[in-house]
Amino acid sequence: MPPNSAHGKLDSEETNAAAWQATRGAVTGAARWGIYSAVAAGIAYAYSPVYRGLTIQFKVFLQMSGMIFGSVIEADERLRIYGERSRRQKVMARDAAVWRKYEEEFESLGISGIASEARAKKGSSEEQEQEK
């Protein structure tokens, strides 16, 4: 990927966090679907003479296929959820910055806003502590 992509550069911390989320998803998915595959193999062994006739290598292949399938599915799901959450956090941070800018603009015009109320509450609590 080129260093200056159209989607913006991801910092290494965000990339590492996404990679860890995908890894956790892959491990959980492999474990979960490995259990499902083992149960299916047990049922197939009990009821299917065709499955009992398969070589051990093919049975291992079937078990590993289920585990790989589960790890891919779960890693993708966790990565999608992480991406949605990080995008939502970025939007909230951007909106908060815009809101703070508007508050500062109102304050500079002499219109009292949320920022002045926060200072007033902070100041009144400091005054109360000084009185004690």
Q: 25-83, pLDDT tens digit by residue?
A: 999 999 999 999 999 999 999 999 999 999 999 999 999 999 999 999 999 999 999 99
User: Residue 17, Cα to own-chain centre: how many angstroms?
Assistant: 8
Q: Nearest 10 degrees: CA dihedral of 109, 111, 115, 120?
A: 120
- Per the listing, tokens 């913006």 go with 8
Whether 1 has a pLDDT exceeding 80, the answer reads: no
pTM of the predicted protein model: 0.64
CB 66 within 8 A of CB 37: yes
Going 73 to 75 to 81 to 86, the CA torsion angle's sign is: negative
User: What are the tens digits of pLDDT across the range 84-111?
Assistant: 999 999 999 999 888 888 888 877 777 7
